Amino acid sequence: MNILEPADTPILGAPAPAIAFIILFLSISFFFYVMYRRINLLRKAAPDPRFSDIPTRVQRVLVYGFGQWRQPRYLGAGILHILLFAGFIILSLRSLTLIGRGFSPTFHIPFLTGSVGFAYDSIKDYTVLVVLIVCVIAMVRRAVFHPARYDHPGTIGHEHEAYVILGLVSALMITDMIHDGAALKASGLSGEYYRLPAATLASMFMPTNSMPTLNFLHVGGYWTHILFFLGLLNYLPVSKHFHVITAIPNVFFSNLNKGSIKPVKYGVADWMELEQCGVSDLTGFTWKHILDFYSCADCGRCSDNCPANTVGRALSPKMISVKARDYAYEHFPVFDRVAQPGRSERKLVGDIITEQEIWACTTCGACEAECPIFIEYIDKIVDMRRYLMDRGDIPLSLQKPLQQIKKKGNAYGAMKSKRSAWTKDIEEFQIRILEEGEHSDLLFFVDSCGSFDPRIQEITKSFARTMKRANVDFAILGPDENDSGNEVRRLGEEGLFEQVSSHNIDAFQARSFNEIVAFDPHAFNVIKNDYPEPFKVIHSSQFLARLLSNGDLSLNGGYLRDRTVTYHDPCYLGRHNGIYDEPRRVLKAIPGIRYQEMKRSFSRSFCCSGGGLLLWYENEEEKERMGERRVKMAMEVGAQVIVTACPFCLINIEDAIKTTGNEGKIEVIDLVELVDRSMS
C-alpha cells in the first residue's frame, strides 16, 4: 500500500495544489514586499561605487562567501557555521523539491533524478541529521556557555532571535524527518539506516503501522515543514538573520581599497559645497554601509577583537551595526506607521551612536579583519566624525594638535623651519635636504613624529645611519615636508587632510626620486592609499628586508644577547597593508635570534592605542591602556624584547612598560633601531 502524497491529499475539501499555490503566493508576495522595502532604503542612501573589478569580487564571494574562509578564525563556532551553511546549500534543493511536491507528487528538480537523485536523497538525509545536531549544540552553547560576544548591551529584544532561528531550523529538520520517516515506515523497507539515517530515526519513533497515522504524519509533516520554511523566509528580513540573504552580496560588494578612507561623498565634484559634511543620519551612510547593517549576524567577533572595547571604552563595533539596524527597522518599517510623537526624537548620530563611541575608535581595523562577511567600520566611523568635526564637536584633547597642524604642518606646534633640526644631532655625516628639481634615489619621509618627538627622533637617526652605512642615496624634504595627514583624515578633518596632502604632493612632484621610504606605517599608509596622486612608497621594514636580501647589510646578535624577542604587528603595516613577512624576515636574519610569536599576531595583532594624533587623544572611560594589555601579552610568551615597526607603537608600549612596572624586565625597540644596533 502506498502512502498518500501531499499533493494528492485535499485539505478540508480543497485540492492541495490550490492550497500550495495560495500559501506560496502569499508568502512570496510578502517576502518580496519586505525585500522591496528594505532595498528601498538602500536607494535612499548615499551613492557608493561597488562594481569595479568584478573578477576580484567573484573570487571573494567564492573564497569568503561560499568558502567561509574566515569562519574558522573562531574554530568551534566556525565549524558549526560551516556545517549549517553547507546544510543550507544542500537542503535548498530539497526545499525547492518539497515546494514542487505540493503541486505534483512526482516533482523533481531536473538532474536530481535517477542515481543522482538516489544519492542526493541520502546526502540530504545525512545533512538533515547533521543540521539538527548542530542546531542543538548551538542552542546549548548559547544557553549554557553564553559567550560574552553574543551579548547586546544597551538594547532589548535581541537575545531571543538566535533561539527563534535555531528553533525554526530544527523544526524544519524534524518535520522533514517526520515526512520522510512516515514514508519510509509505510514502504516497509528496513535496514535503510545507513542510507537514510534521519528518516530511519524518525520512523523509529512511529510505533504504529497504521496507514492513516502514517499518512497523517507524512502529509502533516509536509505542510508544517512548508509553513516553517516560508515562515523562516519571511522572518529573515525582519531579524538579524537577514544575513542569510545579504551576506553573499555583502561580500561581493565589499571594500577593495584596504587602507584608504572613502571620500566625503561619492560623485560630488566639490564636497566643500555640500550642505552637510559627514553622516548624521541613516540615509547619510552609503547603501553598502546600510547593507552592512542588514548583514550583521550579531556574532560579535568584531567587538571581541576590538581593542577599544577590550579596555572598556564605549565602542563596540557590533553594537553600531545592531543599533543602526534597529534604527533602520524602526524608522523605515515594513508597514508605514502613523508617526508617534516623540518616537523619532533620538538622533542616530549623537544619541544612539554616541560621540564617545565615535571617538573611541583607533581605526586599527581589527573588526574589519575579523568580520566573516566584510562589514566595514572605519569608513562609517570616519563619516560620523566628519559630521561632528563639521559642527566643531571634537574632543578637547584633539583640538590643539589639529590646530597646530593647520598652522604649522605638525601637531607638535614646532616651527616649520625646525623640521630638519634633528639632522644636526648626526655629526658623522651630512643629511641632504632635497631641494626642488634635485634627484635622490630614495626620499625619506620623516613625518612630524620623526622630526619633532625626541624619542622618535632616535628612530629617525637610526634609520639615517642605516641607510648611510648601506650606501643608499637618500634625502629628506626638510621644512617643505608637512604632516602626512593619516590621522587628520581618519579624525574626519577632510579639509585639513587636503591641505597637508596637497602640500606634500606638490613637494614630491617638484623633486625627482625613485621611491619614498617611511618608517611610520601611518605615513606609509596614507601616501600609498589615500593620496590622490600615485607615488611609489615603501616601509622601512620592506626596505631593510631588501637590503638584507641584496647582501647590503649583515647583522649580529650582540644587542639582543640571547633575549627572547617577539614582534608586534603595527595595525597600519599589517592589517591595513598586509606587510607581515618583511619585518619577520629582518628579525630572522639576526643570527641566533630567539623568536617567539605572541598569541595575538599577524592580522589578530592588538592595537597599542593608536598613532599620530591619537597620541594626544584622552579617553576617560578606559580601565586599562591598550599598550599595557599588549605588554602583558608579550610577557606571557616570555618575551624580553618587543620589536615593533611603528614609532607610535613604540611610544605607547614604552609608556606601558613603565606604568606596568616592568622596566628592566622587558624592552621595546623599533625594528630600525634594532637593525642599527645589530649591524656588523
Query: Between the CA of residue 459 and those of 191, 524, 595, 662, 676, what are the distances in Å?
Result: 75, 15, 22, 22, 9
Q: Cβ 628 to another protein, closest distance in Å?
A: 9
- Choices 49-57, 96-104, 398-406, 524-532; region in contact with another protein by CB under 8 A: 398-406
Q: Cβ 279 to another protein, closest distance in Å?
A: 15
Q: Which is nearer to another protein, 147 or 495 (CB)?
A: 495
Any contact of residue 522 with another protein (CB under 8 A)? no
Confirm if 569 and 601 have CB atoms less than 8 A apart.
yes
Q: For the chain, how are helix, strand and coil distributed in percent, rounded to 5?
A: 55, 5, 35
Binding to another protein in span 569-628, by CB under 8 A: 615-616, 618, 625
- Choices 186-194, 245-253, 356-364, 412-420; region in contact with another protein by CB under 8 A: 412-420
Binder to another protein among 393, 552, 562, 636 (CB under 8 A)?
Answer: 393
Binder to another protein among 234, 354, 356, 397 (CB under 8 A)?
Answer: 397
Residue 603 grid coordinates? 592580522
User: Nearest to residue 123, comparing CAs of 79, 154, 92?
Assistant: 92
Any contact of residue 22 with another protein (CB under 8 A)? no
Binding to another protein in span 487-516, by CB under 8 A: 493-496, 498-499
End-to-end CA distance of the chain: 91
Any contact of residue 408 with another protein (CB under 8 A)? yes
- Choices 232-240, 243-251, 600-608, 657-665; region in contact with another protein by CB under 8 A: 657-665
Q: Which is nearer to another protein, 387 or 474 (CB)?
A: 387
Any contact of residue 442 with another protein (CB under 8 A)? no
Q: Which is nearer to another protein, 452 or 474 (CB)?
A: 452
Alpha helices in 102-146 (DSSP H): 114-140
Cα Rg of the chain, angstroms? 30
Amino acid at 282: L
Any contact of residue 399 with another protein (CB under 8 A)? yes
Residue 8 backbone phi and psi in degrees, to 5: -95, 0
- List the x/- string, 449-468, binding to another protein by CB under 8 A: ---xxx--------------
Residue 448 grid coordinates? 612630524
Q: Which residues contact 503 (CB under 8 A, 6 or more apart)?
A: 409, 482
Any contact of residue 532 with another protein (CB under 8 A)? no
Q: Cβ 630 to another protein, closest distance in Å?
A: 16
Binder to another protein among 130, 277, 328, 507 (CB under 8 A)?
Answer: 277
Residue 69 backbone phi and psi in degrees, to 5: -60, -35
Torsion of CA 147, 152, 153, 156, to 10 degrees: -140
Query: Between the CA of residue 595 and those of 263, 560, 566, 590, 637, what are the distances in Å?
Result: 41, 11, 6, 10, 10
Q: Nearest-5° angle of CA 87, CA 92, CA 97? A: 130
Residue 143 backbone phi and psi in degrees, to 5: -75, -40
Any contact of residue 240 with another protein (CB under 8 A)? no
Distance CA 243, CA 259 (A): 25
By CB under 8 A, the count of residues binding another protein is 41
Q: Cβ 672 to another protein, closest distance in Å?
A: 21
Any contact of residue 661 with another protein (CB under 8 A)? yes
Confirm if 487 and 613 have CB atoms less than 8 A apart.
yes
Check the CA dihedral 410-414-418-423 and report its sign: negative
Binder to another protein among 61, 394, 544, 598 (CB under 8 A)?
Answer: 394
Q: Which is nearer to another protein, 176 or 494 (CB)?
A: 494
Residue 261 backbone phi and psi in degrees, to 5: -110, 140
- Choices 119-127, 352-360, 411-419, 465-473; region in contact with another protein by CB under 8 A: 411-419
Q: Cβ 462 to another protein, closest distance in Å?
A: 18
Binder to another protein among 142, 331, 406, 585 (CB under 8 A)?
Answer: 406
Site residues, another protein (CB under 8 A): 272, 277, 389-394, 396-403, 406-408, 412-417, 452-454, 493-496, 498-499, 615-616, 618, 625, 658-659, 661
